[in-house]
């Protein structure tokens, strides 16, 4: 087992993702998430429990456990204003992610968009079945063999974002919505903490980051993958005469970064990027000397649209004119 001396503990604490949990009710999921966060090597910590209901049971528990709480009633406020207050509190607490745990408010589209990819929800059904309310009664009524719970990424469409994980719960012949709901809760308490941990760890998981880069790189015309000096790279053109437009670098040469290396226009641009945005860019060993910049992927707010733009730009800079013409023509429509 690794040494858990004070230095290691401090190091681990620094690396934990910070989550704000939004609740409206009893907060049993919040409690499960909280106690999981107190286990050794947990991937996240709760920095705030926020609610739209002053009497939400979970608030008291959070306070008892020394977690900051925030209450802002939705009554008498527009959705946008209420969302803005909740968002401000989460930001103030330093949250990287928002976790909805029985938060019975629909978020405004703008709010969901601003936190795209950084809000999770648990819903008490096996999505895509039974979005919305009364999920247990509907599953029993339909004669389903199983009910369950789903953890999904929140998007502007209700209960429709990518499903990350599900727990199945068998329905007994004499189940009521209450008895079934109680068992689904037990399953939720197992499912949610683990799904959150997996999700927030994605951003530092080289396998996950590489899969995303590869999907974007190989979606560009006439590209293929080839390893160069131990790093996976992507080339445009034929297997014989193709040119590299990107490399994936996993903490090479002690940099600590998992990064995408792409071509800049030259040393001026490279140094300018590194100096003005040191959290996003760095000058990689060896490749930096010929104008390749490292775009850091293992950070909580990595912007994948931006990463896709870099890949396309770098691809353009080495692709033969017959291919760039094609993509220019396609872009016009
Ligand atoms: C949970 O069962 C959760 O799935 C559900 O509210 C309950 C909250 O319980 N969420 C929704 O229905 C969201 N549409 P808790 O307050 O004890 O965690």
For 212-226, the DSSP string reads HHHHHHHTSTTEEEE
Q: Is the pLDDT of residue 186 over 90?
A: yes
Average confidence (pLDDT) over 305-332: 90
- Cα–Cα distance measured from residue 43 to residue 139, given in angstroms and rounded to the nearest whole number: 34
Query: b or e along 270-306 (b: 16 or more beta carbons within 10 Å of the residue's beta carbon)?
Result: bbebbeeeeebbbbbeebbeebbbbbbbbeeebeeee
Q: What is the mean pLDDT of the chain?
A: 92
The model's pLDDT over 6-43, given as tens digits with 9 standing for 90+, comes to 433 433 455 799 999 999 999 999 999 999 999 999 99
Q: For the whole model, what pTM was predicted?
A: 0.78
- Which pLDDT does position 214 carry in this prediction? 98
pLDDT band at 230 (very low <50, low <70, confident <90, very high): confident
Q: Is the pLDDT of residue 283 over 80?
A: yes
Give the mutation target among 23, 29, 134 for probing the ligand 1 site: most ligand atoms within 8 A of CB.
29
pLDDT band at 142 (very low <50, low <70, confident <90, very high): very high
- Cα–Cα distance measured from residue 46 to residue 278, given in angstroms and rounded to the nearest whole number: 27
pLDDT band at 203 (very low <50, low <70, confident <90, very high): confident
26 lines ligand 1 (CB under 6 A): yes
Q: Is the pLDDT of residue 196 over 80?
A: yes
122 lines ligand 1 (CB under 6 A): yes
29 lines ligand 1 (CB under 6 A): yes
102 lines ligand 1 (CB under 6 A): yes
Q: Is 123 a catalytic residue?
A: yes
Give the mutation target among 35, 58, 101 for probing the ligand 1 site: most ligand atoms within 8 A of CB.
101
- Which pLDDT does position 14 carry in this prediction? 52
Average confidence (pLDDT) over 274-295: 96
The model's pLDDT over 239-282, given as tens digits with 9 standing for 90+, comes to 999 999 999 999 987 778 999 999 999 999 999 999 999 999 99
Closest atom of ligand 1 to 24 CA is 16
User: Closest Cα to residue 220, out of 303, 310, 297, 280?
Assistant: 310
- Cα–Cα distance measured from residue 327 to residue 322, given in angstroms and rounded to the nearest whole number: 9
- Cα–Cα distance measured from residue 62 to residue 34, given in angstroms and rounded to the nearest whole number: 8
Closest atom of ligand 1 to 29 CA is 18
- Which pLDDT does position 103 carry in this prediction? 96
The model's pLDDT over 75-94, given as tens digits with 9 standing for 90+, comes to 888 888 999 999 999 999 99
């Amino acid at each position: 087992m690794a040494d858990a001396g004070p230095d290691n503990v401090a190091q681990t604490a620094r690396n934990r993702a910070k989550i704000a949990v939004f609740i409206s009710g009893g907060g049993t999921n919040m409690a499960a998430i909280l106690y999981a966060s107190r286990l050794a090597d947990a991937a996240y910590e709760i920095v705030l429990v926020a609610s739209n209901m002053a009497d939400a049971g979970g608030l008291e528990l959070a306070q008892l456990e020394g977690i900051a709480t925030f209450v802002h009633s939705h009554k008498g406020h527009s959705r946008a204003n209420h969302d803005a207050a909740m968002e401000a509190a989460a930001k103030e607490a330093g949250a990287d992610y928002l976790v909805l745990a029985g938060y019975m408010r629909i978020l405004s589209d703008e709010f969901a968009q601003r936190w795209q990819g950084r809000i999770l929800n648990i819903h008490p059904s096996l999505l895509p079945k039974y979005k919305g309310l009364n999920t247990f009664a509907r599953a029993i009524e339909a004669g389903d063999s199983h009910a369950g719970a789903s953890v999904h990424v929140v998007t502007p469409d209700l209960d429709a974002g990518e499903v990350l994980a599900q727990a199945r719960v068998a329905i007994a012949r004499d189940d009521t919505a209450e008895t079934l709901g109680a068992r689904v809760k037990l399953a939720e308490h197992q499912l949610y903490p683990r799904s959150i941990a997996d999700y927030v760890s994605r951003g530092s998981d080289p396998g996950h980051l590489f899969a995303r880069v590869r999907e974007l790189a190989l979606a560009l015309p006439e590209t293929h993958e080839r390893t160069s000096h131990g790093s996976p790279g992507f080339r445009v053109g034929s297997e014989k005469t193709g040119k590299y437009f990107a490399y994936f670098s996993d903490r090479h040469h002690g940099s600590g970064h998992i990064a995408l290396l792409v071509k800049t226009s030259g040393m001026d641009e490279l140094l300018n990027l590194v100096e003005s945005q040191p959290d996003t860019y760095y000058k990689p060993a060896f490749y930096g000397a010929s104008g390749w910049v490292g775009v850091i992927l293992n950070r909580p707010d990595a912007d994948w649209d931006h990463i896709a733009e870099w890949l396309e730009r770098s691809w353009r800079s080495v692709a033969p004119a017959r291919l760039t013409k094609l993509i220019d023509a396609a872009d016009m429509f």
